[in-house]
């Protein structure tokens, strides 16, 4: 897992508070696709503070979770204290010793893009293949609607003022454009012949924020975490002020939450 993938460990409480969760319908669909039932062995990669983990444990699965960030893992352990069938190891997937374990499903919620694909896909197949288990990637794609005010459109001048020419800046895609990308494993390396072509399903999600809350959301994201603090903090203060003064101090952040799930080939 790359160094950048661990920047969330700097702000674990913030991450837990502002990041969107995953809808129950997604886990219903995963259970149906993968034939999961109470007691099914599930491996979770990059569990963070346990946002997806809590849903998996709540369904009675035997969950082994991996999280390299010690502070993130501490929150997950606290939130899931006393839960049966839950074990968390503070490690990356690449460094983890599977010790011959086999799983019915592997879940990576907004984390697989941090895993080295050359090591990650074969290792995922090794722990899923003998049981023809299911690989499932969960994520959130920020989207916009053509008929709705979108925060980046109202604050792009601030982004350019504080971090000019930053290649991360840009409008989120339109919702319909994202829904059209309903093939394959998304923006990660393709696993080749190790897995079936995935089933892809979308789940609309929205969060509402005031200016301070939206700034905190951005503060939890990697494109802002990697900015120097002397750039990031004045920029986010300016974004919060713009939302308060021009946008009525209430703005949406829209996502299409996505499930991509495919069976391991023998």
Phi, psi angle pair for 123, to nearest 5°: -70, -40
pTM of the model: 0.87
CATH code, domain with 65: 3.40.50.150
pLDDT for position 20: 82
Question: What is the domain range of residue 220?
Answer: 4-263
Cβ atoms of residues 256 and 205 within 8 Å: yes
Phi, psi angle pair for 169, to nearest 5°: -75, 145
pLDDT in tens, 123-151: 999 999 888 999 999 999 999 999 888 99
- The pLDDT mean for the chain works out to 92
Residue range 165-175: mean pLDDT, rounded: 95
The two tokens of residue 102 are 């086999």
The two tokens of residue 135 are 């690989």
- Does residue 15 carry a pLDDT above 80? no
At residue 78's C-alpha, the angle toward residues 94 and 120, to 5°, is: 10
Residue range 174-198: mean pLDDT, rounded: 92
Q: Please state, in angstroms and rounded to a whole number, the distance separating the CA atoms of residues 49 and 77.
A: 8
Q: Residue 26 — pLDDT band, cuts 50, 70, 90?
A: very high
Q: Which residues of 194-226 are buried (b: 16+ CB within 10 A; e: fewer)?
A: bbeebbbbbbebebebbbbbbbbbbbbbeebbe
pLDDT for position 11: 59
pLDDT in tens, 241-255: 999 999 999 999 999
Cβ atoms of residues 133 and 105 within 8 Å: yes
Q: Residue 3 — pLDDT band, cuts 50, 70, 90?
A: very low
Number of domains within the chain: 1
Q: Please state, in angstroms and rounded to a whole number, the distance separating the CA atoms of residues 247 and 264.
A: 48
pLDDT in tens, 193-238: 999 999 999 999 999 999 999 999 999 888 999 999 999 999 999 9
pLDDT for position 5: 43
- Does residue 118 carry a pLDDT above 90? yes
Q: Please state, in angstroms and rounded to a whole number, the distance separating the CA atoms of residues 205 and 215.
A: 19
Cβ atoms of residues 211 and 240 within 8 Å: yes
pLDDT for position 19: 75
Q: Residue 2 — pLDDT band, cuts 50, 70, 90?
A: very low
pLDDT for position 12: 63
pLDDT for position 234: 98
- Does residue 49 carry a pLDDT above 50? yes
pLDDT for position 10: 56
Worst-scoring range by mean pLDDT, 11-20, 46-55, 98-107? Answer: 11-20
């Amino acid at each position: 897992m790359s160094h950048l993938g661990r920047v969330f460990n700097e702000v674990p409480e913030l991450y837990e508070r502002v990041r969107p969760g995953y809808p129950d319908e997604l886990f219903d669909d995963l259970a149906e696709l993968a034939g999961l039932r109470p007691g099914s062995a599930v491996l979770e990669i990059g569990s963070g503070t346990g946002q997806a983990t809590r849903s998996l444990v709540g369904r009675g699965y035997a969950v082994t979770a991996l999280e390299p960030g010690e502070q993130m893992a501490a929150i997950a352990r606290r939130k899931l204290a006393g839960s049966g069938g839950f074990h968390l190891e503070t490690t990356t997937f690449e460094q983890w010793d599977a010790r011959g374990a086999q799983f019915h499903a592997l879940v990576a919620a907004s984390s697989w893009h941090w895993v080295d694909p050359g090591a990650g896909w074969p290792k995922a197949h090794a722990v899923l293949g003998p049981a023809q288990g299911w690989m499932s990637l969960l994520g959130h794609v920020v989207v916009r609607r053509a008929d709705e005010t979108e925060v980046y459109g109202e604050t792009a001048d601030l982004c350019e003022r504080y971090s000019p020419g930053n290649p991360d800046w840009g409008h989120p895609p339109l919702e319909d454009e994202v829904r059209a990308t309903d093939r394959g494993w998304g923006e990660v390396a393709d696993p080749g012949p190790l897995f079936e072509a995935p089933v892809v399903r979308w789940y609309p999600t929205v969060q509402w924020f005031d200016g301070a809350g939206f700034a905190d959301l951005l503060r939890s994201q990697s494109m802002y975490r990697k900015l120097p603090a002397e750039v990031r903090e004045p920029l986010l203060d300016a974004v919060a002020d713009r939302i308060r003064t021009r946008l009525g101090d209430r703005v949406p952040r829209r996502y299409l939450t996505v499930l991509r799930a495919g069976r391991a080939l023998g």
